[in-house]
């Protein structure tokens, strides 16, 4: 039997939030953890869940917005210093350039550590897989079938589906409602879904501030409401909906209620450190 878990490491957004770390989650297949996104605080969150960053040899980026990558430098260098000697990264075009910029930015630091005798494996030889614009199957050594599809955001963004035996987990990335996500998530045991557009969020209370109203309107074209998350889960016929990417001051109970009015499966407003067990 395969031991399969999904751990929500960070369920927050670009806005700093003491209660929610930056976007990140980890799927663990037996003893193999796969990290999806790497927001601020990811290393700390991993260690709090007793997952050694050095044990993570696979990282998937849904997209390269700052809130999804702020923790990468710490993960890359910290995991390497703890003993990681192999790393594969999957992400949109631009991932290789981003990784190389990180190496350039910390060149002196890295050179010093190499001079101490730390081997360069796991840092200087990272495998980068950049996704084709249309998505599709990803050829990797991971113990999962990985399929991606482009979704609707303001930069190139991909949803990821992980099939492990008879179980499936789909992670939406940041997106407005889109048919490609429904198709990808079809029949998944869990859909981890962006539900950033909440009526209780700070930016929805714009009063007479025209600029904030304009920002909020733009965001509605790039993210989902809880009700839209519920509609996607219903159309995709998933078993469990886990909402994420919450702005500060979100009313999680209200978000769950709004999604449940559309989707009659299990609805969870995700929190940091939520763990879901899906043994195959």
Model confidence pLDDT, tens digit, residues 52-63: 999 999 999 999
273 pLDDT more than 90: yes
Q: How many CB atoms lie within 10 A of CB 152?
A: 17
Q: For the residues of 209-243, what is the DSSP string, one character each?
A: -HHHHHHHHHHTTTS--HHHHHHHHHHHT-SEEEE
Is residue 171 a contact partner of residue 36, using CB atoms and an 8 Å limit? yes
Residue-wise pLDDT tens digits, 65-92 = 999 999 999 999 999 999 999 999 999 9
**Taking the alpha carbons of 8, 265, 61, 254 in that order, is the dihedral positive or negative?**
negative
| Residues in contact with 278: Cβ distance below 8 Å, sequence separation at least 6, in sequence order | 4, 5, 6, 167, 169, 189, 190
How far apart (Å, rounded) are the C-alpha atoms in residues 28 and 5?
5
Task: Determine the distance from the C-alpha atom of residue 226 to the mean position of all C-alpha atoms in its chain, rounded to a whole number.
Answer: 17
Q: How many CB atoms lie within 10 A of CB 225?
A: 22
Instruction: Give the pLDDT score at 85.
Output: 98
Mean pLDDT of the chain: 94
How far apart (Å, rounded) are the C-alpha atoms in residues 111 and 119?
11
Residue-wise pLDDT tens digits, 140-160 = 999 999 999 999 999 999 999
How far apart (Å, rounded) are the C-alpha atoms in residues 145 and 280?
14
Q: Work out the average pLDDT over 207-215.
A: 65
279 pLDDT more than 90: no
How far apart (Å, rounded) are the C-alpha atoms in residues 198 and 225?
6
202 pLDDT more than 60: no
Q: What domains can be seen in the chain, in order of their start residue?
A: 4-277 (3.60.15.10)
φ/ψ of 80, rounded to 5, equals -65, -45
pTM of the model: 0.94
The two three-digit tokens of residue 62, written as one number? 């849904």
Percent of the chain with pLDDT over 70: 93
List the one residue out of 148, 198, 156 whose CA is nearest residue 20: 198
């Amino acid at each position: 039997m395969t031991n399969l878990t999904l751990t929500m490491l960070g369920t927050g957004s670009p806005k700093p939030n003491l209660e929610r770390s930056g976007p990140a989650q980890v799927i663990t297949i037996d003893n193999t953890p796969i990290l999806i996104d790497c927001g601020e605080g990811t290393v700390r969150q991993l260690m709090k869940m007793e997952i050694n960053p050095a044990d993570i040899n696979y990282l998937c980026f849904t997209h390269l917005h700052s809130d999804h990558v702020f923790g990468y430098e710490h993960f890359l260098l910290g995991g390497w210093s703890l003993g990681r000697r192999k790393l594969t990264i999957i992400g949109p075009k631009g991932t290789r350039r981003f990784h190389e910029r990180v190496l350039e930015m910390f060149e002196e630091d890295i050179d010093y550590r190499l001079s101490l005798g730390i081997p360069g494996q796991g840092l200087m030889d990272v495998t980068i897989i950049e996704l084709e614009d249309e998505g599709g199957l990803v050829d990797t050594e991971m113990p999962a079938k990985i399929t991606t599809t482009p979704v609707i955001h303001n930069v190139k963004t991909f949803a990821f589906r992980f099939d492990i035996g008879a179980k499936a987990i789909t992670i939406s990335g940041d997106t407005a409602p889109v048919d490609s996500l429904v198709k990808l998530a079809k029949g998944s045991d869990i859909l981890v879904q962006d539900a950033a557009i909440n009526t209780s969020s700070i930016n929805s209370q714009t009063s007479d501030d025209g600029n904030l109203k304009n920002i909020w309107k733009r965001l509605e074209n790039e993210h989902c409401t809880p009700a839209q998350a519920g509609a996607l889960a219903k159309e995709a016929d998933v078993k469990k909906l886990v909402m994420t990417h919450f702005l500060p001051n979100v009313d999680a109970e209200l978000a769950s209620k709004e999604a449940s009015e559309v989707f009659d499966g299990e609805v969870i407003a995700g929190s940091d450190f939520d763990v879901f067990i899906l043994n195959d």
